[in-house]
Amino acid sequence: MDTNTTGSPGYLPDTSPDNNRERASFIELQMHGINSTLRFGSNTIADRSPLICPDPLQRQAVWQSYLENVAPLVTIVHRQSLEKIMAQVNDSEDTLEKSDKALVCAVYLSAIMSLTPAQCFDKLGEQQESAIVRHRLAVEQALNEADLFNSHDFTLLQSALLYLIAIRRHDKGHFVWTMTAVILRLAQRLELHRESALSGISPMNGEMSRRVWWHILALDVQSAEDHRTEPLIHDGQFDTRFPLNINDEDLVLEAEGFPCERSGYTDMTFSLIRFEITATYRLLKYLPFAKPDYSADDLLASRQQHVIGLEHRLREKYLQFSNTTATIHRLCATVSWLVLAKLRVYVYDTVVSGDMSNTGLRAGIREFLFATSTDIIELSVILETSQKNIGNWTWMFKNNNQWHALSFILAELCLRPSCTGADRAWRAIDDAFHLWESQDACAQKEVWSIVSQLKERAIQARRRQLIVSRIPASTLARQYCRSFPAEDSQNPNHADDVRQPPSTCSEEPVCFSEPSSNMHYTPPACNSLDPSAVGLIEDPGLVSSTNISFGDLPENLFLSHHSSLPDNILDFF
């Protein structure tokens, strides 16, 4: 193996902190060259063997990082099977199959990208930028050598998928978006999109195929959103079922039957929550085309029912079993509330409010979208900053800036600077700007410029309002998973609408109780809330100006649920 650290193109000429600008330029050039190499299947660098961590201690450190940071979130590789491959790496890397070598390289790359720069330097003695470039080159060389584009190898498909998931947050071009189409075609060639084809293979292989297929579906939706295009896969093109809610240890290669599905949290819970969300999003997106005869009111009601049904399933199947002392449980709950809030906003995406028959409902929607958009910003900041409470899983949510929610809030504040919830919205805006303004994302510069201008206009409107009225803006309770606006807009406590389940909360106001049909009670001062009582304590060292933390989340965040959910809602799924 070539271990020349000066001549190899995978190494940076200088990784000292004083050469940040040169290092960034070098990385950009390296990334461009690597992308072209894989995209066209060139073998011009095939003689340069991928340089996998040569030091056994480094290998173990990176492998452990993968198990802790990546495997719980990206469940496309069977852990016990991967352990056997890693043991073979320790014995002799040269004996690995080409597809296994690509998988090992992808594992190393994903692990390194899940680390902070300080953690990477501590484990590898190397700047993270340099390590990423070197290991990304290794992955793409390995995929080329294994002839990815002409392969029928399932392990190679797993390698390519893990690679794309790992680099998506850092890809500034169209590479991941383009390569998603490639791995989709490779998966279809293996017939992962047909449930009938999976019935003819072993239960373990069938289960892993379902996991890979649904991860591809999720990546397809994400990459399409990244570039404002339509997903490639439509519902009529596949019938693959969800994978089972089981642990990896339940899958045995020699087993003749499927294991019994577990209740509560398993190795697959986070992924299954994502798959449920992906399926519902796809349904909401194509509902207007599937039901062209629906009126605006009918379309709105149907979309709301789908979101409520999703929330009910997530609570009943997973979230009711949450343990607040388990980090992965906190992550699952926070992601669930964030995406449910985003779907609540998305419900109104294609509905023209002027076409609705109820004028009062149109006014209620405006308040609902403002409050829910504030929820989205708060939860997004939590996911990106609360490393102490979410663990080393923030890597998956980096650069996931909620531009639509932020823009909507700022636009409303320009028009209504003292509206209900304005103070809370401004705190969320300040936290988001503090976090997102420091992120160097070339593809987001145009959007950031527009949002910054909106913020300046909103600030000016707020100043004018304060000078004229000198009346402080009212507050809005932090209350994730809000009920949809009821048709009886004159009664904010109305909860009998078919599109929202009745609340089970006490009639007495409870600090941050969730969910409730009353969005207008005022919570006690934040300093009266004891975060330790919830087991969700803020890490003050992460973002100094952040006002949002797990301590601010409702005490019954995990276990509160609606009862008496209309049975017909489940008929949509």
DSSP secondary structure of 84-103: HHHHHHHH-GGGS-HHHHHH
d(CA 237, CA 219): 16
Helix 154-167 with 128-145: angle, nearest 10 deg: 150
Domain ranges of the chain: 17-250, 353-572
CB-hemisphere CA count at 13 Å for 416? 14
d(CA 484, CA 475): 19
Whose CA is closest to 156, among 170, 173, 169, 144?
144
Q: What is the pLDDT of residue 181?
A: 96
344, 307 contact by CB (below 8 A): yes
d(CA 126, CA 205): 37
224, 285 contact by CB (below 8 A): no
d(CA 520, CA 493): 9
d(CA 69, CA 412): 38
d(CA 495, CA 501): 7
Q: What is the pLDDT of residue 468?
A: 66
- Which residues are within 8 A (CB) of 98 and not within 5 positions of it... i.e. 6 or more apart? 142, 145, 146, 156
d(CA 235, CA 251): 28
330, 390 contact by CB (below 8 A): yes
- Which residues are within 8 A (CB) of 47 and not within 5 positions of it... i.e. 6 or more apart? none
Q: How far apart are the first and last CA of the chain?
A: 53
Q: What is the pLDDT of residue 481?
A: 64
Q: What is the pLDDT of residue 557?
A: 40
Whose CA is closest to 543, among 465, 435, 422, 423?
435
Q: What is the pLDDT of residue 51?
A: 52
Q: What is the pLDDT of residue 430?
A: 92
DSSP secondary structure of 428-474: HHHHHHHHHTT---GGGHHHHHHHHHHHHHHHHHHHHHHHHH--PPP
d(CA 505, CA 518): 10
Token digits of residue 126 = 């190397």
417, 370 contact by CB (below 8 A): no
- Secondary structure letter of residue 75 according to DSSP: -
Q: Is the Cα torsion angle 505, 509, 513, 514 positive or negative in sign?
A: positive
Whose CA is closest to 417, among 474, 360, 489, 478?
474
d(CA 18, CA 317): 51
Count the residues in the chain: 573
- Which residues are within 8 A (CB) of 195 and not within 5 positions of it... i.e. 6 or more apart? 239, 240, 241
Q: Rounded to two decimals, what is the model's pTM?
A: 0.75
Helix 175-189 with 154-167: angle, nearest 10 deg: 160
Helix, strand, or coil (residue 314):
helix
d(CA 338, CA 380): 7
Tens digit of each residue's pLDDT, the chain (573 residues): 444 433 333 333 344 444 444 454 444 434 444 444 555 444 444 444 545 676 888 999 999 999 999 999 999 999 999 999 999 988 777 788 999 999 999 999 999 999 999 999 999 999 999 999 999 999 999 999 999 999 999 999 999 999 999 999 887 778 999 999 999 999 999 999 999 998 889 999 999 999 999 999 999 999 998 888 899 998 889 999 999 999 999 999 888 889 999 999 999 999 999 999 999 999 998 888 888 888 888 888 999 999 999 999 999 999 999 887 888 998 999 999 999 999 999 998 755 544 555 555 577 888 899 999 999 999 998 888 876 666 688 888 876 778 889 999 999 999 888 888 889 999 999 998 888 876 654 446 667 788 888 999 999 988 887 776 655 555 555 556 667 776 544 443 333 333 333 333 333 322 222 322 323 322 223 332 232 322 332 232 223 333 444 444 444 443 333 333 222 222 222
d(CA 318, CA 226): 28
